[in-house]
Amino acid sequence: MIGLKHGRVVLVDHDPAWEAEAVKTIKRLWAIFGSEAEDIQHVGSTSIRHIKAKPIIDIAIVAHDFDRVNALIPTLESDGFYYRGWEGNQDKQMVFKCGEYIPGETDMRLVTHYIHVGLARHGHIKNYINYRDYMNAFPAAAHEYEAIKTRLASEVNAGGDFLLYHPGKGDFISRMIQTANDWDKHGRKTVLELYKQRYSCRNFSNKSIPEDIIAYMLECGRLSASGGNAQPWKFGVVTDAKLIEAIAEAASVNWPQPWIATAPLLIVLCTELTSHPIADIGLKRFPSLLERMNKIDKDLLSALAMEEHQTKIPGEHMVLAALEHGIQSTWISSVDCEKVGELLGIKDYLVTNVIAFGYPEGNGQMAPKKDLSQITFNNRFNNPYTED
């Protein structure tokens, strides 16, 4: 199915025929534009695999000059690409539509294609392309987009205002365009590709980490899962060189770690120093150890349980977020956590972990890892897991 009557919002399952139609349309447009176009690509929801979309094909064209595109309008319209004016306030684009069109009518009766023509220097067409590629690379984001579209379509079809459909997607699209552009800027890495680049870095450059990247890392930590959604943490941001040196000394309790003082950023992970239901959960997880655990103070047991996993989840999320920006890290396990707490004036919270972050000096590499077959099993412990 391709095409939709003007003013309707109907979402249908992804159809491979959309890509085939886009390829044919792009070929027709190249024949008209020739050297006047820098790039022509299939964009929009029909270019995002596995999500529902309105069955209207969006094509983006990067042109060199709008005046020269204006000269092509008669040829375009003779081939069924009808000029419909401009869109956008800044970085404007010319819009063409395909479908059933009767000269003199304001709107087309049936729209099959939208053709968006912009200039390379404006970057708007690049936004379309990055957004499409990000949605295809990260299905969870694509399905979040689909859910928003589905909700808005239901509202329109229940009698809501058709004109609110596109603005209703605006906040999500703006946020995802920024994310997609950052992803593109840093090499379009997937999660697996990022982790393949990670290693415990102990040789940082003196380059500072921008505040907006630190904020991004903290936001990734903030959104982490926690037991019972308790979110029992605080994340200390340490950039003061003297404090970092003092923490490096506190981390030299077993062996010297002077490299810590070269890190431009330490994130200090803290958890609430109060009794928490996590302690009771721990008792039920290991019934054979119940008698021994009952002898441990519940506040202590809770603190140990929190230290074990509650703050490690957001910490690892921050590690991954840093990798997106070319920043390496190292978890500091040998450290006097109480001394760090004293240095930072922490009260009513327990310091559980410290992570050093920074841009690497030189080239490091990940330490050898065990093969997947050595660390997995399938249903039963002695049954090996295989990918097929």
Contact 109, 100 (CB under 8 A): yes
* pLDDT of residue 319 exceeding 90: yes
Cβ atoms of residues 183 and 191 within 8 Å: no
Does residue 282 carry a pLDDT above 60? Answer: no
pLDDT at position 49, please?
A: 92
Task: Pick the more confident residue, 310 or 368.
Answer: 368
d(CA 127, CA 244): 40
Which pTM was predicted?
A: 0.63
Question: Any idea of the CA torsion for 360, 365, 371, 372, to the nearest 10 degrees?
Answer: 30
Sheet of strand 265-272, all strands in order from the earlier edge strand to the far edge:
233-238, 265-272, 349-358, 328-332
What average pLDDT does the segment 45-50 reach?
Answer: 94
Could you give the CA distance from residue 126 to residue 136 in angstroms, rounded to a whole number? Answer: 15
Please check the confidence at residue 40 and state whether its pLDDT lies above 80.
yes
CATH of domain 193-358: 3.40.109.10
CATH 3.30.460.10 positions along the chain are: 4-185
Q: Which of 81-90, 147-156, 312-321 has the lowest mean pLDDT?
A: 81-90
Q: Which of 331, 338, 322 is nearest to 353 (CA)?
A: 331
Residue showing tokens 């309790």: 253
CATH 3.40.109.10 spans which residues of the chain?
193-358
Which residues are CB-contacts of 219 (< 8 A; sequence separation ≥ 6)? 321
Question: Residue 305: pLDDT band by 50, 70, 90 thresholds?
Answer: low
Which of the residue ranges 8-22, 68-82, 277-291 would you say has the lowest mean pLDDT?
277-291
Q: Are the C-beta atoms of 363 and 350 separated by less than 8 Å? A: no
| Architecture in CATH for domain 4-185 | 2-Layer Sandwich (3.30)
The chain-wide mean pLDDT, for the chain, equals: 88
Max avg pLDDT among 99-113, 187-201, 265-279: 187-201
Token output for 75? 């040829």
Question: Given this model, what pLDDT does residue 215 score?
Answer: 94
Span of 77-91, 156-170, 269-283, 323-337 with lowest mean pLDDT: 269-283
Q: Would you say 304 and 286 are in contact if contact means Cβ atoms under 8 Å apart?
A: no
Backbone angles phi, psi at 336, to 5 degrees: -80, 95
Q: Which of 76-85, 205-214, 304-313 has the lowest mean pLDDT?
A: 304-313
Q: Given this model, what pLDDT does residue 359 score?
A: 93
The secondary structure of residue 310, as a DSSP letter, is I
Distance CA 104, CA 34 (A): 30
> In this predicted structure, what is the pLDDT of residue 297?
73
pLDDT for 299 equals 66
Burial of 288 (C-beta count, 10 Å sphere; 0-12/13-18/19+)? exposed
Please tell me which residue, 294 or 235, carries the higher pLDDT value.
Answer: 235
Q: Work out the average pLDDT over 15-20.
A: 95
pLDDT at 283 over 60: no
Task: Report residue 27's pLDDT band, with 50, 70 and 90 as the boundaries.
Answer: very high
In the numeric block, which tokens belong to residue 302? 């809770």
